[in-house]
Amino acid sequence: MQYVERVLEELKTKNPNEPEFHQAATEILNGLKPVIEKHPEYEKAALLERFVEPERVILFRVPWVDDNGAVHVNKGYRVQFNSAIGPYKGGLRFHPSVNLSIIKFLGLEQILKNSLTGLPIGGGKGGSDFDPKGKSDNEIMKFCQSFMTELCRHIGQDTDVPAGDIGVGGREIGYLFGQYKRIRDEHVGVLTGRGLSYGGSLARKEATGYGLVYITEEALKCRKDSFKGKTVIISGSGNVAIYACHKAQSLGAKVVAMYDSNGYIYDKNGIQLDVVKQIKEVERGRIKEYANRVKGAEYHEGCKGIWTIPCDIALPCATQNEIDKASAEILVKNGVKYVGEGANMPSTLEAISVFQKAGVVFLPAKAANAGGVATSALEMAQSSGRLFWSFEEVDAKLKNIMVNIYHNMDEAAKEYGVEGDYVAGANIAGFKKVAEAMMAHGIV
Ligand code: NDP
């Protein structure tokens, strides 16, 4: 049996009931086949077996007391996946769907994404099955303090530097940082996505969404095209979606639809982003409200329908597996030309195959959404140097990183005979550096 197939089979046997982890590993390892064939020494060193096994998995209890005095217990996770090229780096997700499989898939993806940025950061991911929806500020603070009370013994500015993800934004990072500082008595860059008053970086909030648009813009530019006049669909209405919408609009695109986990809005005149921001960022409300405030806009219950709206560019920015085979087929039938993944693994393996067969330019998450973690690494650099860069400086570095990622994955795909296959290109470009470092470190 071929090396990749054997490793995937063993992974499924050793880690049953982890479908998302199997899905991510299958996508990554299959894309790496051309590299593995060129390097028989990797099999002798069991490189892939080590690559898919986290260096450390931390599972812990998170007890907290709600405003009525009732005691709750959630699960806390931190998967420290790979530190070959730098300290573990990756977000924390607070969502009821969180389990070990999801954290491991995200952690595995993160290794290659972080490597692709060209910056010295390893891969990790964490979170909890805690649901922040409907909780008071005080309950969020209590939960974050309890979560960090345990997590603080496992992280550090040179060891593991978490950040935000779904359900973890500026407010949560603030509470988490406050508790870390209180227990460890250290004001250091142990978390990124921090507020500007206590060590954060300008442009971090915008970075993932902006980065997604920058890399898509480069793909367009290489085909002598641009965002100008294009119809765009963006799923989600959180951090990534909002700033992707902002940048796409500023480049002349018309964003016509967005959603939250209840349903989607369609505004044929183009989404008014200030209304979305007011509802989602300020009021923490439901996107349904948009249709009550903007004349001519429609609201539809459920999310899937968003993909039936004709568009030139689709930017899924909500969550994993939001585009399945059927949705991909409708998008293709309606003429989509570019798909850029803002969320992590938003397309199923079958959906990716539909896009690639139809000649759609498909920009996979680990490249397309790497702008967030890249800017986190820029935040780490500013913390270490006790520096503070201007918005323009950080934004220019971000754009440069995204353009480089595009060309690195494009060249890797060409070098290994799979031109235009950016899934393989991104996996290969990210893996080469990690593999080289792992080989240099010996069997560890
Ligand atoms: P947010 O929590 O800010 O926003 C998430 C958005 O997606 C919300 O609109 C939410 O709706 C919606 N959503 C969540 N789950 C579902 C679901 N099951 N079905 C439909 N909609 C859903 O998260 P982010 O914007 O930070 O993250 C979005 C994605 O981008 C994630 O996959 C994350 O891993 C990825 N990412 C984020 C980065 C960052 O810097 N923030 C960096 C790289 C990747 P509702 O409001 O109803 O909850």
Q: Is 263 helix (H, G, I), strand (E, B) or coil?
A: strand
The tally of domains found in the chain comes to 2
Query: Are 176 and 212 within one domain?
Result: no
Query: Are 102 and 251 within one domain?
Result: no
Q: Report CA(362)–ligand 1 centroid distance (Å).
A: 20
Residue tagged 């896009």 (tokens) = 355
Split at pLDDT 50, 70, 90, the class of 319 is very high
Q: Is 317 helix (H, G, I), strand (E, B) or coil?
A: coil
Query: Are 342 and 241 within one domain?
Result: yes
Write down which residue in 334, 368, 402 finishes a domain: 368
Query: Are 246 and 172 within one domain?
Result: no
Task: From the candidates 33, 89, 125, 254, give the one annotated as an active-site residue.
Answer: 125
Query: Are 108 and 64 within one domain?
Result: yes
Distance of CA 233 to the CA centre of its chain: 18
Residue 95 CA to residue 29 CA, distance in Å, equals 28
Percent of the chain exceeding pLDDT 70 equals 100
Query: Are 78 and 122 within one domain?
Result: yes
Report whether residue 239 contacts ligand 1, using a CB cutoff of 6 Å: yes
**Residue at 35 is within a domain:** no
* Ligand 1 atom at minimal distance to the Cα of residue 133: 48
Query: Are 213 and 176 within one domain?
Result: no
CATH of the domain at 139: 3.40.50.10860
Distance of CA 138 to the CA centre of its chain: 28
Q: Is 280 one of the catalytic residues?
A: no
**Residue at 251 is within a domain:** yes
| Cα dist from 21 to 17, 59, 101, 340, 418, whole Å | 9, 17, 5, 21, 25
Give the pLDDT score at 198: 96
Percent of the chain exceeding pLDDT 90 equals 99
Least confident range from 35-39, 78-82, 177-181: namely 35-39
Tokens of 228: 């100008």
Q: What is the pTM of this model?
A: 0.94
Closest-CA residue, ligand 1 atom 37, reads 165
CATH of the domain at 318: 3.40.50.720
> Could you report the per-residue pLDDT of 101-159, keeping only the tens digit for each?
999 999 999 999 999 999 999 999 999 999 999 999 999 999 999 999 999 999 999 99
Query: Are 260 and 331 within one domain?
Result: yes
Closest-CA residue, ligand 1 atom 43, reads 369
Query: Are 337 and 226 within one domain?
Result: yes
Give the pLDDT score at 1: 65
Report whether residue 164 contacts ligand 1, using a CB cutoff of 6 Å: yes
* Ligand 1 atom at minimal distance to the Cα of residue 280: 46
Residue 319 CA to residue 20 CA, distance in Å, equals 12
| Cα dist from 279 to 67, 126, 234, 301, 345, whole Å | 25, 28, 17, 17, 26
Report yes or no: 20 and 102 within 8 Å, Cβ to Cβ.
Answer: yes
> Could you report the per-residue pLDDT of 245-262, keeping only the tens digit for each?
999 999 999 999 999 999
Residue type (1 letter), 313? I
Query: Are 343 and 292 within one domain?
Result: yes
Nearest to 161 by CA among 93, 224, 243, 78: 78
Nearest to 422 by CA among 412, 434, 437, 435: 412
Give the pLDDT score at 349: 92
> Could you report the per-residue pLDDT of 208-220, keeping only the tens digit for each?
999 999 999 999 9
Sign of CA dihedral 30, 31, 36, 38: positive
**Residue at 425 is within a domain:** no
> Could you report the per-residue pLDDT of 383-438, keeping only the tens digit for each?
999 999 999 999 999 999 999 999 999 999 999 999 999 999 999 999 999 999 99
Residue 92, strand partner residues: 126
Query: Are 222 and 148 within one domain?
Result: no
Query: Are 91 and 176 within one domain?
Result: yes
Parent domain of 143? 54-187
Nearest to 264 by CA among 309, 294, 232, 198: 309
Write down which residue in 122, 156, 187 finishes a domain: 187
Report whether residue 343 contacts ligand 1, using a CB cutoff of 6 Å: yes
Residue 192 CA to residue 201 CA, distance in Å, equals 8
Closest-CA residue, ligand 1 atom 32, reads 343
User: Number of C-alpha atoms within 13 angstroms, CB side, residue 147?
Assistant: 28
Residue 50 CA to residue 302 CA, distance in Å, equals 41
> Could you report the per-residue pLDDT of 324-379, keeping only the tens digit for each?
999 999 999 999 999 999 999 999 999 999 999 999 999 999 999 999 999 999 99
